[in-house]
Chain A
Amino acid sequence: MEQQLWIWIMVGVTFTLYIGIAIWSRASSTKEFYVAGEGVSPIANGMATAADWMSAASFISMAGIISFTGYDGSVYLMGWTGGYVLLALLLAPYLRKFGQFTVPDFIGDRYYSKTARAVAVFCALIVSFTYIAGQMRGVGLVFSRYLSVDINTGVFIGMGIVLFYAVLGGMKGITYTQVAQYCVLIFAFLVPAIFISMIMTGVAIPQIGMGSEGADGMYLLEKLDGLHRELGFHQYTSGLNRHSMYF
């Protein structure tokens, strides 16, 4: 019961925080709604983007797919992150120079074409849909555990809350809620990672701890490989059917 109480307090406090931020940063114009009135500092923007990266979809599915498919799962990791490089190098500078609100707006104006714009809208919809499907499932999962309800009900409650602060605050509200999310998430990611790393290898930095020796003098990754082999999963550090997949 005590654990349940803690969950109630933690989840309650974070959601109150998000909604509070949404109300505080209500959008008052179209410009504010779409681009947060251009008044968000680069650091806050970076934090919001990072929160996107660490959101429910990656928290749940990335960890799952890497432990389930072994090395093959790392293509998702690289693709997921590599996309940010493409975005930063090929799209973001021009979006900024042209002063458009959305990518379809920009594509349509840049190529003087309604068709190009329609294609961009279609792509944006597909991407958002796949992303949100995973995200909503995650939100539903959280709420179904939190309020002990059915997962479908959880999805609806989550949708309601997100809708509330997205419509109210626009991009400004979303950005600042995401900044808050970033702080919560990075804490939630780092604490277990650091402590697991310390307990298993005695190294406080997880990135280094992952490649260190465990208490029995065996490399952690080798042990993980062995465990995966015994369980019949793909090897963690190299996959057998990898070549058939890529060629």
Chain B
Amino acid sequence: MEKPVNTYWKTNLKYLSILLSIWFLVSFGFGILFVDFMNQFQIGGFKLGFWFAQQGSIYVFVVLIFLYVFLMNRLDDKTLE
């Protein structure tokens, strides 16, 4: 049986790594590394890679922060029980 503190920290790290991978993917990935591939697609007047660099990544950032707060609050409640 693991200590609850350990599980808490491990879950935290799991959340962090998932969220930060998304963080990296949308900005560095879609905006810089794969931008030429992404730019083949077009929504409206936007090339997709360009859209991610200028707007999409920022929307995702905001969602990520809210998601982390939500996940950690839930985790806090669960650990305290």
What separation, in Å, do the CA atoms of A85 and B21 have in the docked complex?
Answer: 12
Residue from the list A78, A207, A213 in contact with B31, Cβ < 8 A: A78
Which A residues touch B20, using CB under 8 A? 85, 89
B50 CB to nearest chain A CB (Å): 4
* Contact status B45-A220, CB under 8 Å: yes
* Contact status A82-B68, CB under 8 Å: no
What separation, in Å, do the CA atoms of A88 and B23 have in the docked complex?
Answer: 12
* Contact status A71-B53, CB under 8 Å: yes
What separation, in Å, do the CA atoms of A207 and B32 have in the docked complex?
Answer: 21
Do A89 and B57 form a contact, CB below 8 Å, given A219-B45, A221-B45?
no
* Contact status A237-B32, CB under 8 Å: no
Which A residues touch B46, using CB under 8 A? 210-211, 221
Q: How many of B's residues come within 8 Å of A, CB to CB?
A: 31
Which B residues touch A82, using CB under 8 A? 23, 27, 57, 61
Residue from the list B33, B43, B45, B58 in contact with A213, Cβ < 8 A: B45
* Contact status B53-A90, CB under 8 Å: no
* Contact status B31-A74, CB under 8 Å: yes
* Contact status A81-B57, CB under 8 Å: yes
Tell me if B51 is interfacial: C-beta within 8 Å of chain A. yes
What separation, in Å, do the CA atoms of A210 and B57 have in the docked complex?
Answer: 16
* Contact status B19-A89, CB under 8 Å: yes
Tell me if A77 is interfacial: C-beta within 8 Å of chain B. yes
Do A77 and B54 form a contact, CB below 8 Å, given A85-B64, A88-B65, A89-B68?
yes
Q: Which residue of A lies closest to B36 (CB)?
A: A238
* Contact status B61-A207, CB under 8 Å: no
Do A212 and B27 form a contact, CB below 8 Å, given A77-B53, A85-B64, A89-B16?
no
Which A residues touch B28, using CB under 8 A? 78
Which chain A residues have a beta carbon within 8 Å of chain B's beta carbons?
71, 74-75, 77-78, 81-82, 84-85, 88-90, 93, 207-208, 210-213, 219-222, 237-238, 242, 246
Which chain B residues have a beta carbon within 8 Å of chain A's beta carbons?
16, 19-20, 23, 27-28, 31-33, 35-36, 39, 43-47, 49-51, 53-55, 57-58, 61, 64-65, 68-69, 72
